[in-house]
Amino acid sequence: MIPKVFKEVIDLGDGRTISIETGKLAKQAHGSVVVQSGNCMLLCTVVSNYKQSDVDFLPLTVDYREKFAASGRYPGGFFKREARPSDGEVLTMRLVDRVLRPLFPKDYHAETQVMIQLMSHDEDVMPDAMAGLAASAAIQLSDFPFECPISEARVGRINGEFVINPTRAQLLESDIDMMIGASADSVMMVEGEMDEISEEEMAEAIKFAHEAIKVQCAAQVRLAEAFGKKEVREYAAEREDDDLAKKIHDLAYDKVYAIAKAGSAKHERTAAFDTIKEDIKASFSEEELADFGGMVSKYYYKAEKAAIRDLTLNEGLRLDGRQTDEIRPIWCEVDYLPSTHGSAIFTRGETQALATVTLGTSREANQIDMPSFEGEERFYLHYNFPPFSTGEARPIRGTSRREVGHGNLAQRALKGMVPDECPYTVRVVSEVLESNGSSSMATVCAGTMALMDAGVKLKKPVSGIAMGLISDGASGKYAVLSDILGDEDHLGDMDFKVTGTADGITACQMDIKVKGLSYEILVNALKQARNGRLHILEKLVETIAEPNAEVKAHAPKMITRVIPNEFIGALIGPGGKVIQELQKATKTTIVINEDPITEEGIVEILGTNQEGIDAVLTKIDSLLFKPTIGGSYQVKVIKMLDFGAVVEYLDAPGNETLLHVSELAWERTENVSDVVNMGDVFEVKYFGVDPKTRKEKVSRKALLEKPEGYVARPPRDNSRDSRSGGRDSRDNRGSRDNRGRDDRRDDRKPREDKKED
C-alpha cells in the first residue's frame, strides 16, 4: 500500500526552504517526521511509555546522531560503525533538551525518548539548526501532553545583515553565531558566541531569530491539523491537596523568610531549611505521612521558593545577604602549579576553578570527525566537575553531557581572543574544586589568567558572570540578580551566563523560564551583567595585567619556518631518518605540514632548549642554502679523497660539495694533501653546475693570483683519430676497433651452430 504523505514547506525568505514530512517513515513511533533543507535530511521519532515511571521527574532522553553514510563516509575505528556520541552531537542534544523539557507537565513522569538522526548531509546546511524543529514537529503528531510547538534557529550577521540558518562558510564571515529556541510567544533558550557585540545588538539578533521561529511553529500546527491532531493521552497525574498545601505554606513561609533574610552560608542555611522541613513532617501522624508523605516535601519546597522570591522582590535581599547587583568576594592567583605551562586559581564566594594550560604543536590539535564536519581545533578547553566540588560522593561515569556543554561555553568565550598568529596548539583544562554558583564562568576567568600566565598573547582578557531573574507578572516587579548562587539558579525565572571583554560580549547561554519576557527586561539584565563582568575583569587584571612576555623556562618554545615544497623530503629524509635523528640530537619536536594553498612546507619546531631549536634552524638554513654563481664562500675541509677534497660551507653546515684536485692550485697537484688538509678553512668561488660533469663546481685557485711564468697546459687534441690511439676519434660503427674486440662475433659461429655441434 502506498502511504499517504503529509508535507509542509517553510520559506526562509532567500530562496531556501525547509520541508516537514510525515506518513512515510517510522510509523510505529508515536510521532515521526523527516525535515529537509537542500539535501540535508533529518529523521526524528518520538516515543513515550503509557505507564508513569516511579520517579519525581521527567525521564526524558534526547538523542541526536549523525550517520556517516549520510555523507558517503565510513566511520573510524576498528569495528567501522557508529559508537558513542561525539561532543558535537552531545551539544546538539543539550540544545534540544533545554527547550523541550519545560513544556511537558511537571507531573508527567513517563519514560520519553526523542531520537533525531542525520540521514543525508548537505555541505551548505548545518543540521543542528533544524534539530529542535524536527523534535517539536514529531511531538505535535503524537498524543503527548506538550504545551505548544517550539523551534530553534541559528542566526548570523554578515556585513551588518542578519541571516537565518547560515551555512558553515557564511559563519566564517559572521560576527555572531547564536542558536535561539522559542515558541510562538516566548524566547526560551539562547546560546552562542559573538565578536564583542553590544547588549542591544544581541537583543536584536534574538528578535530576528524569533520572527523566523514563529513561521516554523505555524507550519507545525498546519501539519498536525492536516495529519489529524490526536487526542492528548490521559495519564496518572500527581495527587493534589490544596488544604495541605496551604497548611504547609503557613507553617513554613515565615520561618524560611527569616532564615533567608539572615544571610547565612550555604551549609548553615541548608541545615536550617532541613530542620524546618523535618519539624513540619513531625507535626503529622504516621498515618498521615503514610497517606500523603510525598506531598509534604513538594509543598514545602513550593513554600520555600515563594518565601525566597518574595524576600528578593520586596526587600532586594538574597540568601547570602547580598544586594541584587552585588558580587561575592573574589581572590585569584597565577603560577600556582610549578610544572604546568600556565596555571591560575579563580575563587568567587564558594565557587573555585583551577585552570591549566598546555602548549603543543599542530600534532596535538583536537581532531573533529563528524559526518557533517571534519576539521581540527588548535584551541580547546576541557571542563571537569568532580562530585567533591559540591560535597557529594557519587560514581564517576565518564564525561557527562553537562561537562561537555559547560566546557564548550567557556571555550567559545575565550577562543576569539587567542590570536590567529599564535603558533601553538593550546589546551586549557578547568578543574572545578568548589561549586555554589556558576563554575563555567569561573572557568572562563581562571582560563583567561592561565593563558596569560602561559605567555599566550591574548588580544584582551575575558571575564564571565552568571545572572538570574525573579519576576512577578501580576505586580510588574522584577529583580535581576548578579552572580547567582546554586539555589537561586533553581528558583529564578531566568538564568543566563554572559562572557566578554571590556568592549563587548563574546559568548552567552540563557534559559528563560517565564513566558513573554520583554526585551526591555532582557536588555536591562544584560546591562547589569556587563557591570558585573567589568567588576570581575578588574580583579583578573589586578592579578595579572597582561600576558607574560615569554613562555616559562620549562615550557616549550615554538618557532615556525616556511620552506619550499622541494625541500620537505630532504628534511624528512629516507624513512624519516633525517628528522628523527635531528629530533633526538636536539631534543626538540619537529612537525612538518604542507600548506594546502601554496604547498609550501610549514615547519614547527618545539623545544625547551633554545640551543636545540637553533640547531634545527641551522639545519634548515643549510638545506635552503644556495650559493650564487660568481660568489665567494668560506668552506672547511671535512674529507680527503685521491681526486680532491670534500668541503662544507661554513654558512650552511651539512651542505657540502667536491673541490676537485685540479681546482686546488694553479700548479699541477699530485697529492691533495700537498695543498690542503682536514679542517683547513679557506675561500672558494662558486661557478654553478659544470655542463660536462653535471655537478656543482667550486674553485680555490680562481681566488689565487697566477704564479709568474705560469703556462696553462695545452688543451686536449680532440682531432686525434684511431691511428693515434686516441679515444675521442671513435665513431658509431667501430668505437672499439682499437682494441680489436668489436669484430669478435664475426669470427664466432652462431650459438645455434654450437648447439648443433
Annotated binding site: 489, 495
CA-CA-CA-CA dihedral for 494, 495, 501, 506, to nearest 10: -80
Q: Cα(41)–Cα(702) distance, rounded to whole angstroms?
A: 76
- What is d(CA 735, CA 541) in angstroms, rounded to the nearest whole number? 88
Query: Are 616 and 586 contacting, i.e. CB atoms less than 8 angstroms apart?
Result: yes
Give 45-71 as a DSSP string. EEEEEEEEPSSSS--EEEEEEE-GGGG
In 349-434, the DSSP E strands lie at: 351-360, 366-370, 373-377, 379-384, 425-434
Question: Cell numbers 654563481 label which residue?
Answer: 629
CA-based nearest residue to 508, from 417, 554, 440: 440
Instruction: For 358, list phi and psi in degrees, rounded to 5.
Output: -125, 130
Q: How far is it, in rounded angstroms, from Cα 469 to Cα 482?
A: 9
Smallest Cα–Cα separation from 320: which of 350, 297, 358? Answer: 350
- Give the bridge partners for 162, in sequence order: 157
Q: Are 4 and 20 in contact (CB under 8 A)?
A: no
* Alpha helix positions (H), 331-484: 401-415, 439-453
By C-alpha distance, which of 362, 299, 18 is closest to 165?
18
Give the distance from CA 126 to its chain's centroid: 17
d(CA 741, CA 700): 42
- For residue 356, the cross-strand partners are 343, 429
User: What is the chain's Cα-based Rg?
Assistant: 38
Sign of the Cα torsion 490, 206, 381, 102 reads: positive
Q: What is the C-alpha separation between 604 and 558, in angstroms, rounded? A: 7
Closest CA to 42 of 113, 135, 181: 135
Residues marked as binding for Mg(2+)?
489, 495
Strands 644-649 and 589-594 come out as: unpaired
**Amino acid found at 673:** S
Cell of 133: 524543529
